[in-house]
Amino acid sequence: MRILVVGGGGREHTLVWKLKQSPLVEKIYCAPGNAGISEYAQCVPISVEDLRGLVEFAEEQKIDLTIVGPEAPLAEGIVDLFQGRGLKIFGPNKQAAKLEGSKVFAKELMVKYNIPTAEYKTFTNPEEAEQYIKKVGTPIVIKAEGLAAGKGVIVCEEEEEALLAMKKIMIDRAFGDAGNRLIVEECLRGEEASILAFTDGESILPMVSSQDHKPVYDGDRGPNTGGMGAYAPAPLVTPEIAKYVEEEILLPAVKGLKSDGHSYSGIIYAGLMFTEKGPKVLEFNCRFGDPEAQVVIPLLKSDLVPILQAVVEGKLSQVKAEWHEGYAVCVVMASGGYPDSYQKGMVIEGLEEQKANHNLMVFHAGTDIQKEKVVTSGGRVLGVTGWAQTLPQTLKNVYEAVESIRFEGAHYRKDIGQKALKLLK
Ligand code: AMP
Ligand code: GLY
């Protein structure tokens, strides 16, 4: 098979690395890819926003299956475009991708199909939003309806903060049209974890659970990022909880989407808060998480290709997935200054030495090659990922590698996996 992966981050490096292990794969292309991906796939300089360029490339190169990493091209309708030309592609179409692209769409689906989530109200008028915020008080969560690169959700402890967040979204329009509607939501307390599943719109095939670490600094302090690290599985998610999430959250969502006339297929990703009253949905995403993919995919023992094919062909109930025992941990090494502004072009050293370690992969995110050297080219630079039987062993393996990789300004969290360690004690 000839495969095209769309994207160029750590998630896509992980997908390409796994696909490369499949005997069914003859050639992999990745658009645009990165320095790490170029060792496994032919990178093509087409951006993820250039949907026409991507579909023309897939036609010319006779691509058998395209896999979309990020949400933006899904929300823009890449799947509709490919399918319209008779090309196979993994991911939901434009209408179904609203599950992630519109928080109002997701909330309405959850209410209609009794899926546990926080109480909320939607606003289009800033004065009404202000009155409501003042009435219900804090803590409260303010959300822009649309895609805002992970920055459109503000958890507010003070009323003033909530009003400022509302103004930023509705009046200053900091996220443009993503702020056309505002969601004011009940603040949930508890631990978070993500459960992703493959789905063909009929049945689901859940993956091992995982936990991301969004704030930039140790102890969950500082501003939110795309994700500073992850581990899988999350000990919080016992087999009973996984079953509950499958039956009460993932399946009702997939079946609800179908009865509402959407043909949803690809990944359904539930971001969950484990409250005293049980797990509640914080958000749905319509793609692999980044860095969740970096820890979930290495634990997949089965070949990924037959699963992706079964999803695309609507035959998911016919396939099974086997998972490795043990844990995977990913520690993200970021550029100095990230998630604010940062410099690019810093030479990365210590990458070659890691290749002898067979329980470790350094997944590249923002990297490039300049004058035959691997250099930084983004905020999140590397996802150093290891796996082993126990969590302490995995953490030791990963952090030893992290400490031996160097670039100017590099920073990373030193407490990835600590919450899981506490639960396991
Ligand atoms: P989202 O993009 O909706 O997952 O939100 C990003 C982060 O904001 C989540 O990972 C939570 O930490 C937090 N968050 C979102 N919604 C709520 C809520 N209703 N209560 C508390 N925290 C929330
Ligand atoms: N790591 C969070 C996300 O991919 O949305």
| Residue 103 falls inside a structural domain | no
Whether 206 and 226 map to the same domain: the answer is yes
Q: Where residue 376 sits, what CATH number does that domain have?
A: 3.90.600.10
Query: What number does the ligand 1 atom closest to the CA of 185 have?
Result: 19
- The residue contributing the CA closest to ligand 1 atom 7 is 153
| Residue 383 falls inside a structural domain | yes
- For residues 380 and 318, is the Cβ–Cβ distance under 8 A? no
- What pLDDT score was predicted for residue 174? 94
- For residues 6 and 82, is the Cβ–Cβ distance under 8 A? no
Whether 43 and 132 map to the same domain: the answer is no
| Residue 116 falls inside a structural domain | no
Whether 226 and 135 map to the same domain: the answer is no
- What pLDDT score was predicted for residue 320? 97
Whether 301 and 336 map to the same domain: the answer is no
Q: What's the chain's Rg over C-alpha atoms?
A: 21
Q: Tell me the pLDDT band of 403, cut-offs 50, 70 and 90.
A: very high
- The residue contributing the CA closest to ligand 2 atom 4 is 289
Ligand 1 pocket, residue 100 CB under 6 Å: no
| Residue 390 falls inside a structural domain | yes
Whether 208 and 237 map to the same domain: the answer is yes
Ligand 1 pocket, residue 118 CB under 6 Å: yes
Whether 166 and 213 map to the same domain: the answer is no
If you measure from the C-alpha of residue 69 to the centroid of ligand 2, how many angstroms do you get, rounded to a whole number?
Answer: 11
Residue 374: beta bridge partners? Answer: 369
* Amino acid (one-letter) located at 91: G
Distance, C-alpha 390 to centroid of its chain: 24
pLDDT of 283 above 90: yes
Q: Find all residues with CB under 8 Å of 63, minimum gap 6, and list them.
A: 2, 3, 4, 29, 57, 87
What does the alpha-carbon distance between residue 338 and residue 223 come to, in Å, rounded to a whole number? Answer: 10
> Which has the closest alpha carbon to 315: 223, 150, 241, 205?
205
Mark which of 318, 341, 371 sits at the end of a domain.
318
- What pLDDT score was predicted for residue 149? 80
- What pLDDT score was predicted for residue 151? 81
Ligand 1 pocket, residue 141 CB under 6 Å: yes
The domain in which residue 234 lies consists of: 191-318
Ligand 2 pocket, residue 192 CB under 6 Å: no
What does the alpha-carbon distance between residue 224 and residue 215 come to, in Å, rounded to a whole number? Answer: 4
- For residues 376 and 335, is the Cβ–Cβ distance under 8 A? yes
Ligand 2 pocket, residue 212 CB under 6 Å: yes
What's the length of the chain? Answer: 425
What does the alpha-carbon distance between residue 168 and residue 147 come to, in Å, rounded to a whole number? Answer: 15
| Residue 219 falls inside a structural domain | yes
Mark which of 318, 340, 370 sits at the end of a domain.
318
pLDDT of 42 above 80: yes
- Over residues 94-146, the pLDDT tens digits come to 999 999 999 999 999 999 999 999 999 999 999 999 999 999 999 999 999 99
| Residue 96 falls inside a structural domain | no
State the pairing for strand pair 360-364/380-388. Answer: antiparallel
| Residue 98 falls inside a structural domain | no
Q: Where residue 228 sits, what CATH number does that domain have?
A: 3.30.470.20
Q: Tell me the pLDDT band of 351, cut-offs 50, 70 and 90.
A: very high
Ligand 1 pocket, residue 271 CB under 6 Å: yes
Q: Dihedral angle at the C-alpha atoms of 3, 6, 8, 14, nearest 10 degrees?
A: -50
- For residues 385 and 330, is the Cβ–Cβ distance under 8 A? yes
Whether 259 and 195 map to the same domain: the answer is yes
If you measure from the C-alpha of residue 134 to the centroid of ligand 1, how many angstroms do you get, rounded to a whole number?
Answer: 20
Tell me the CA end-to-end span of the chain in Å, nearest whole number.
Answer: 45
Ligand 1 pocket, residue 280 CB under 6 Å: no
If you measure from the C-alpha of residue 135 to the centroid of ligand 2, how many angstroms do you get, rounded to a whole number?
Answer: 32
Whether 242 and 286 map to the same domain: the answer is yes
- Of all ligands present, the nearest one to the C-alpha of 153 is 1
- For residues 100 and 286, is the Cβ–Cβ distance under 8 A? yes
If you measure from the C-alpha of residue 292 to the centroid of ligand 2, how many angstroms do you get, rounded to a whole number?
Answer: 7
Whether 336 and 311 map to the same domain: the answer is no
Q: Give the chain's mean pLDDT.
A: 97
- Over residues 353-364, the pLDDT tens digits come to 999 999 999 999
Q: Tell me the pLDDT band of 223, cut-offs 50, 70 and 90.
A: confident
The total number of structural domains in the chain stands at 4
Q: Find all residues with CB under 8 Å of 240, minimum gap 6, and list them.
A: none
DSSP 248: I
Burial 128-139 (b: 16+ CB within 10 A, else e): ebbeebeeeeee
* pLDDT, average across residues 249-261: 98
* pLDDT, average across residues 367-383: 97
Tell me what percent of the residues of the chain surpass a pLDDT of 90. Answer: 97
pLDDT of 46 above 80: yes
| Residue 252 falls inside a structural domain | yes
Whether 195 and 149 map to the same domain: the answer is no
Whether 308 and 345 map to the same domain: the answer is no
* pLDDT, average across residues 83-98: 98
pLDDT of 150 above 80: no
- Of all ligands present, the nearest one to the C-alpha of 156 is 1
Beta strands of 139-277 (E only): which ranges?
140-144, 153-156, 182-186, 191-199, 204-206, 211-212, 215-217, 221-224, 229-232, 266-275
Whether 255 and 349 map to the same domain: the answer is no
* pLDDT, average across residues 6-28: 98
